[in-house]
Amino acid sequence: MVEAATRVAFPFAAIVGQPELQRALLLAAIDPAIGGVLISGPRGTAKSTAARALAALLPPSVNASPAPFVTLPLAASVEQLVGTLNLEDVLSLGRVRLQPGLLARAHQGVLYVDEVNLLPDELVDALLDVAASGINTVERDGISQQHAARFVLVGTMNPEEGELRPQLLDRFGLSVTMANPADAAQRMTIMRARLAFDEQPLAFGEQHAGEQTRLADAVVAARAALPRLVWSDAVLHRAATRAMDAGVDGMRADLVILRAARALAALEGRGEVTESDVEAVAELALAHRRVVGANASAASAMPQPQPQPPSNGRQEPLTALHARADRPHHDASAEPSANPSVVGDWGALPPRPESITRVLSVEGWHEKKA
């Protein structure tokens, strides 16, 4: 769904008490190749408000219209997402016409996916492929067409409603975990801001117009500065060290850290990426990729007590840890080895042998002749 350009969005500059979320969204807006932002948290923590507010900061599209804010419905099909080719035009007009999908509509804007953990895997795979490359390929019956699809991907999820596979978690560039405000004064500030916006949205927007303009100009300037920024071997080493300390698989985390650090340096108007930039963004890139039990760097954010790794040794997403903590626990070594039902993951059924019956003939089939 593409929202009307006339809808007034809550000002990005007026968001209260979420500096890490604002930083992650701004970095992804400066360099969409980072791979978007995954926002995890309970209901009512302004996840969708922040995503919609980001679209208002982005520069206008080629035709001078506001940057689009496109919502991907949970019930969308792959064709609705990536588009399709109208082969009927081949017969009538002699050419193939592309019917654009939501990815094309989100070009130069924000693509928002609420409850991304509830989407079918094929939709998430297609979405993340295009978000990383900026190019959408539509194929049908041996015919292929491509179009640009450069957008800021923002996905949200409530861990209580389900998990996201580790392979898909790794494909998101940055992640932020939100919590309910625990300070009464901060909650009062949030309520005042929201009530003022609901009563007089235009007047509330005018109060923050100066800061909104400054942020919008900073995003445009940072995008233009990205190709000129350089990093030293020390910066590369720091990014690699942080990724190794987190025990991540592959090189995607290292590259995301570097891209995010470069975007931060550009946002702050500096001409070189520093090790401090790496430290400032590392946790945003590693929180959802960190292997349980890895030797995390001392510079990471506040440590959280972590459950032990699963018995099969595979990495689990952070969202899986919350569910695992609520499951009954047992010590497999303390159970009799003769009972296979207690070995392996909790809830698994023991193997049961099945006999094989030889089929001599099948009714309706003809016997094969030599």
- Whichever domain contains 175, its CATH number is 3.40.50.300
Split into its structural domains, the chain has a count of 2
Does 159 lie in the same domain as 16? yes
**Burial environment of residue 294 by CB neighbours within 10 A (0 to 12, 13 to 18, 19 or more):** middle
Q: What distance in Å separates the CA atoms of residue 288 and residue 256, rounded to the nearest whole number? A: 12
Does 234 lie in the same domain as 168? no
Decide if 148 contacts 135 (C-beta within 8 A).
Answer: yes
For residue 275, the tally of other CB atoms under 10 A from its CB is 16
- What is the distance, to the nearest Å, from the Cα of residue 337 to the centroid of all Cα atoms in its chain? 43
Decide if 50 contacts 97 (C-beta within 8 A).
Answer: no
The sign one gets for the Cα dihedral 116, 122, 127, 132 is: positive
Residue 186 lies in a domain: no
Q: Which helix (H) or strand (E) holds 113?
A: strand 110-113
Decide if 163 contacts 117 (C-beta within 8 A).
Answer: yes
Decide if 2 contacts 112 (C-beta within 8 A).
Answer: no
pLDDT at residue 70, rounded to an integer: 94
For residue 328, the tally of other CB atoms under 10 A from its CB is 6
From first to last of the 370 residues of the chain, give the pLDDT tens digit: 555 444 689 999 999 989 999 999 999 999 999 999 999 988 888 888 999 999 999 998 766 689 999 999 888 888 889 888 776 766 677 677 778 889 999 999 999 999 888 888 888 888 888 888 889 888 876 777 888 899 999 999 988 888 888 888 888 999 999 988 888 999 999 999 999 999 999 999 999 999 999 999 999 999 999 999 998 999 999 999 999 999 998 899 999 999 999 999 999 999 999 999 999 999 999 999 987 765 544 334 433 434 444 434 333 433 333 343 343 444 433 444 444 444 444 444 455 554 544 444 444 444 444 4
Please give the backbone phi and psi of residue 352, each rounded to the nearest 5 degrees, phi first.
Answer: -130, 125
Residue 359 lies in a domain: no
- Only one residue has tokens 């987190």, namely 246
Active site residues: 252
Residue 353 lies in a domain: no
* Domain range enclosing 147: 12-179
Residue 44 lies in a domain: yes
The residues near 81 (Cβ < 8 Å, ≥ 6 apart) are 72, 101, 102, 103, 123, 126, 127
* End residue of a domain, out of 161, 179, 197: 179
Does 160 lie in the same domain as 246? no
Q: What distance in Å separates the CA atoms of residue 83 and residue 65, rounded to the nearest whole number? A: 22
3-state class percentages of the chain: helix first, strand second, coil last, to nearest 5: 45, 10, 45
At 234, which CATH number? Answer: 1.10.8.80
Does 146 lie in the same domain as 72? yes
pLDDT at residue 313, rounded to an integer: 39
Residue 361 lies in a domain: no
Does 166 lie in the same domain as 21? yes
pLDDT at residue 140, rounded to an integer: 73
Does 37 lie in the same domain as 157? yes
The bridge status of strand 174-177 relative to strand 37-40 is parallel
Residue 108 is encoded by which pair of tokens?
């130069």
Residue 252 lies in a domain: yes
Predicted structure pTM score = 0.74
Does 108 lie in the same domain as 27? yes
DSSP, collapsed to helix, strand or coil, labels residue 155 as: strand
| Amino acid (one-letter) located at 172 | F
- Only one residue has tokens 């539509």, namely 138
Decide if 128 contacts 111 (C-beta within 8 A).
Answer: no
Does 155 lie in the same domain as 16? yes
Residue 149 lies in a domain: yes
Q: What distance in Å separates the CA atoms of residue 52 and residue 234, rounded to the nearest whole number? A: 37
- The closest of 3, 9, 98 to 49, measured between CA atoms, is 9
* End residue of a domain, out of 282, 297, 319: 319
Q: What distance in Å separates the CA atoms of residue 77 and residue 83, rounded to the nearest whole number? A: 10
